[in-house]
Structure 1
Amino acid sequence: MAASAHRAAVVMHAFYAERALGRGPGAPSFIEAIAEACGARSIAVTLFGAGAGESVVATSDPLAESAQDLEYSYGEGPAVKVLTGPGELSLSGGELSRCWPRFGAAIQDLGVVSVSSVRLGGAASPLGAVTVYRSEAADGALLTRSLAAVAEALTNTALLPIAGVEDLLAHPLFDDLDFRPVVHQAAGMVMMAKDCAAEDALALIRAHALAEDRRVLDVSLAIVDRTLDLP
């Protein structure tokens, strides 16, 4: 592990340990430790399953949560792009809507002015992405270098543990991850009702969320509660 990644790992685990020992405000959250190491407030860690399908996500604040929900709804955004593309990116201002016509415009409406994202894992075996959303101007190159160090540290200490799966699931990052069980439950109900494949069911849920300007999670909850039947 590179020296910069080692330093990032030390910062993350020290911050988390301070919170866990009661030396800082609030309950410990490893996603906040990642944000501390990046020097940012709004950060998302996204992990993907087979076929680049998003599986789990952790966010540090409401802005990152809203931005990530938009990426999930539109199927385009920084995590998707770095997973299969260049491995890292930093965009700001008009570059956002030029790169992602729908997602870029939507996050600008949230007040986001710049986005930096770095792939987790190698190009041959990509695992996900760590993304920073900023509502103020920043040095994109500097932030990307910091983010790359954090991504390498996370890959080596959380996602590729030497000891095996048991240690992976014990890492505190996994306490913060949202496995989207409600979305998958809703997709299963739509599959049964529409006699369609899982990908088609998720597409129907996303399309309805966009048409109604609602979060995918809220639409999924309504389906599970049987207060919404998709047309």
Structure 2
Amino acid sequence: MVPEGDLASVLADLRPRSGGGGLLAADATRCARALGVDGVAVSVTGGGLNELLWCTPGASAELEDLQFTLGEGPGPEAAASGTAVMVPDLAREPADRWPVLLPEALALGIRAVIGLPLLVGRVCLGTMTMQRAGPGPLEGAALTDARIVTRAVTATLVRDSGQWDAFAAAEDGSHFYRAAVHQAAGMISVQAGVSVAEALVRLRAHAFRHGRPLIEVADDVVARRVHFRHDDGDEPGGFAVGGTEGP
């Protein structure tokens, strides 16, 4: 069990501060250590898209990028269901649960994952995803502590209006890491004549197929180095990709 003082200090850092900072001022690595996991990440959701807000470096950051790119994993599942998603051993999980993510996560050295929704009533604001390099469940006092942290994170998001308003305005070009993804999805929607949700699927498929980070492909779309259009190209679904100028 984590010493009470360690968890208390993490919670203190998660509280909104009068001078700003809020969640981003907390140390994600120290939070992971306090919860007895190897990594933790918080993403907020809205409009069918999501934004990585807070994360330990390394495997957790890569796992979040995979979940964002593929649209599958404990985070997306927890957000959709509004309930905890806990997989104590990815190596024993049926391959058809997360068919693309499972082998990728195992290759990162991740064996156990826990996804907890950030809930306000029945509304899910986002998720907190935890991972371990070794198999084993998160239970008892450790799971209780993790739920306490999710409540503190949720309270911070709700009360720190500056952070939440900035995320809500991401489609207008905020400073968030994935703002380019939101903008690129909008551009692809116009270019290909599909919904924004379908545009994001096409963007994810292209990034994964070519083994590139989603944010890099999004930057290319925004810079008009990559263009999705109605054509018989090499992309799934009849979308050609090239350097053609467009919206």
TM-score, reference length from structure 2: 0.71
Is 1:39–2:32 an aligned residue pair?
no
Shift of 1:111: 1.3
Aligned to 1:24: none
Q: Which residue does 1:180 correspond to in 2?
A: 178
1:82-112 CA-to-partner distances (Å, cap 9, x unmatched) read 2232621221132274532222222112111
Query: Do the aligned residues in 1 keep the contact of 2:157 with 2:163 (CA within 8 Å)?
Result: no
Percent identity reads: 23
Contact 1:11 1:33 in 2 (8 A): no
1:115 maps to amino acid: V
Partner in structure 2 of residue 228 of structure 1 = 226
Given candidates 45, 57, 62, the residue that maps to 1:66 is: 62
Superposed CA offset, 1:40-94 (max 9, x none): 34211011114x5324432211211111111112111111212232621221132
Residue 94 of structure 1: aligned partner: 92
Q: Give the TM-score normalised by structure 1.
A: 0.75
Question: Which AA in structure 2 matches 1:95?
Answer: E
For the residues of structure 1 that align with 2:176 and 2:95, how far apart are their CA atoms?
27
> Is the alpha carbon distance of 1:196 and 1:16 closer, same or farther for their aligned partners in structure 2, counting shifts above 3 Å?
closer
Deviations 1:107-158 (A, max 9, x none): 11211100012111145122111111111234422443331121122223x0
- Note if contact 1:12-1:36 (Cα within 8 Å) is conserved in structure 2: no
Computed over aligned residues only, the root mean square deviation of the Cα atoms, in angstroms, reads: 3.2
Q: Aligned pairs, how many?
A: 208
TM-fit CA distance, 1:216: 0.9
Higher relative contact order (CA 8 A, sep 6+): 1
Give the counterpart letter for 2:84 in structure 1: E
Counterpart contact for 1:47–1:128, Cα < 8 Å: yes
Match among 215, 218, 225 for residue 217 of structure 1: 215
Q: More strand per residue: 1 or 2?
A: 2
Higher helix share: 1
Deviations 1:209-228 (A, max 9, x none): 12112111111122223332
Question: Given that residues 44 and 59 in structure 1 are in contact (C-alpha distance below 8 angstroms), is that contact kept between their aligned partners in structure 2?
Answer: yes
Q: Is the 8 A contact 2:69 2:207 kept in 1?
A: yes
Whether the 8 Å CA contact 2:95–2:102 is kept in 1: the answer is yes
| Change beyond 3 A, Cα 1:181–1:96 | farther
1:146 maps to what in 2?
145
